[in-house]
Amino acid sequence: MNDDFTPLSQACVNIEDRGFQFADGVYEVIACFGGTFIDLDEHLERLWRSGHAINLTPHLSMEELAELIHETYRRNPYRDAMLYVQFTRGVAPRSHLISKGMLPTLVITSRQLPSITDEKLHQGATAITLNDFRWQRCDIKSISLLASVMGKQEAARLHVDEAFWLDEDGHVLEGCSTNCFAVMDGELLTHPLGHRVLEGITRKMTIRLARKHGLSVCERPWKLDEQGLSEVFMTSTTNAAMPVCQIDGNMIGDGRPGNISLSVRQWLLNHFKELRS
Amino acid sequence: MNDDFTPLSQACVNIEDRGFQFADGVYEVIACFGGTFIDLDEHLERLWRSGHAINLTPHLSMEELAELIHETYRRNPYRDAMLYVQFTRGVAPRSHLISKGMLPTLVITSRQLPSITDEKLHQGATAITLNDFRWQRCDIKSISLLASVMGKQEAARLHVDEAFWLDEDGHVLEGCSTNCFAVMDGELLTHPLGHRVLEGITRKMTIRLARKHGLSVCERPWKLDEQGLSEVFMTSTTNAAMPVCQIDGNMIGDGRPGNISLSVRQWLLNHFKELRS
């Protein structure tokens, strides 16, 4: 917390921290494999972009934050870790209005990076779709996440893994904590960037690696009922790419993880390995 | 906090409280004049409704919470106070998914109720309009308030008091922390309830008192450029009713607080006084 290293159970913020009363903060989740951080610079740049969008300027430099993230990793026992980094506006008497000269609150935690079991990968993930009721600035990675929590809760209630948000015309925007891709006639599709999807770092890497391997990628709005749709997968920092085999109770393709989805996943994992060597 | 009374500066929550990382909580602000709470029951009922909408059930009864609110008031020095009450989902390792059996975090604070100076009332308030980019469940009084913070910040940047949200057709929905009324040909107008406005308790009382005083009230979408619009005012728990005399740089009516707005304000203040006697 800030410049202190504290056991998680003792790390506390004042109840008038604006992160606790106004969701007035931004965050990142960064994967680290055996000491190698995946795209740390890109995460930091996005954190600064998110902060800029809400007029929150971190009180330290990107280099200083990178060092604190490394130090947090080193002080924890997890070899493969996910580092959680959050800035909030800081503590002030409750008012929507932002006081002048506030000192942001910084929190970094390290946890074991979750891994997908072979069995789960073999089955593929399941999802539902929901009409998007989130705010219209999903490009900002803010802690104003209640809509996504509600989406995930509805998914859990229906015993599926993720909820995908649909725009007013039925296009798939993204998931509650993932970006979403389709394979259509052998081409990768994903919703274009804008205010309604997060500029996922794994999304970006997926597009780059797919093109490198000769796959065509098109960023355009797409629907689940389009002719030629054979696969769906979702991407995230913590899960790389994960095939989605059933949505709203309907099988995607033959209901098993598709070859292209599995290839994309492998390209990402290979890329992470290369970064380590 | 929870069942403990603590000085505000020492009242802390763990950084993995879901209120701090997911905006996973609901709240109320309640006014108290000299020991008399204004519509406490209605605030508690709305708090339970908001909680229900996000599947968060308080761990105590409405009666128990009312007693804690009274006790918080008694332990603080403010005669006219605003009591802030917030429930969050509680503390759990960070995941969008909600763990089973969580114990909510309860926070109650008491502060001096702000009062409007005669000078400010004489001048009237100023506002801007912004295209609504908030989520589509503004009927839930949640702490997912970042959009409203951004609205208030934009208002402050332009040296005005409030920002009113406009829907896609230009109708005035509500303000960042207020409901909004217009006077049109002598009739009160305010946006109907639904997912895009909060069911304000002062809004409801305003409608009731206006009708009692023989004023016609219509809950329908309305625009600022409609013929016959002569006054605008905004309502909230902390400010009763406040005339708005300039919006987006344009004078409303003759640019001074209108008679009906001032009457509504007086009816509300009289009603508060009656409750005390």
Q: What would the pLDDT profile of B112-139 be if each residue is shown by its tens digit? A: 999 889 999 999 999 999 999 999 999 9
Residue A103 lies in a domain: yes
| B194 and B220 part of one domain | yes
The predicted structure's pLDDT at residue A199: 98
Q: Do A149 and B24 touch (CB under 8 A)?
A: yes
Which of A62, A89, A112 finishes a domain? A112
**What average pLDDT does range B39-52 have in this prediction?**
98
Count how many domains chain A has. Answer: 2
| A99 and A123 part of one domain | no
Residues of B in contact with A133 (CB under 8 A): 135-137, 195
**ipTM for the predicted complex:** 0.95
- Specify the CATH number for the domain of residue A51: 3.30.470.10
Confidence of residue B49 (pLDDT cuts 50, 70, 90): very high
Whether residue B28 has pLDDT greater than 80: yes
| A35 and A82 part of one domain | yes
The predicted structure's pLDDT at residue B276: 84
Sign of CA dihedral B60, B66, B69, B71: negative
Q: Do A109 and B15 touch (CB under 8 A)?
A: yes
Mean pLDDT of chain B: 97
Mean pLDDT by 10 residues, chain A (277 residues): 93 98 98 96 98 96 98 97 98 94 96 92 97 98 98 98 98 98 97 98 98 98 97 96 98 96 97 89
Q: Do A15 and B12 touch (CB under 8 A)?
A: yes
- Please name the member of A15, A96, A134 whose beta carbon is closest to the beta carbon of B135: A134
| A147 and A269 part of one domain | yes
Residue B3 lies in a domain: no
Residues of B in contact with A144 (CB under 8 A): 23, 144-147
Whether residue B277 has pLDDT greater than 90: no
Residue A258 lies in a domain: yes
| A171 and A232 part of one domain | yes
Q: What would the pLDDT profile of B162-181 be if each residue is shown by its tens digit? A: 999 999 999 999 999 999 99
Interface size A-B, in CB pairs within 8 Å, comes to 152
Which of A93, A112, A131 finishes a domain? A112
Whether residue B3 has pLDDT greater than 90: no
Which of A112, A131, A150 finishes a domain? A112
Segments forming the whole domain that contains residue B214: 118-276
Q: Do A96 and B13 touch (CB under 8 A)?
A: no
Confidence of residue B152 (pLDDT cuts 50, 70, 90): very high
Point out the residues of B that are catalytic: 141
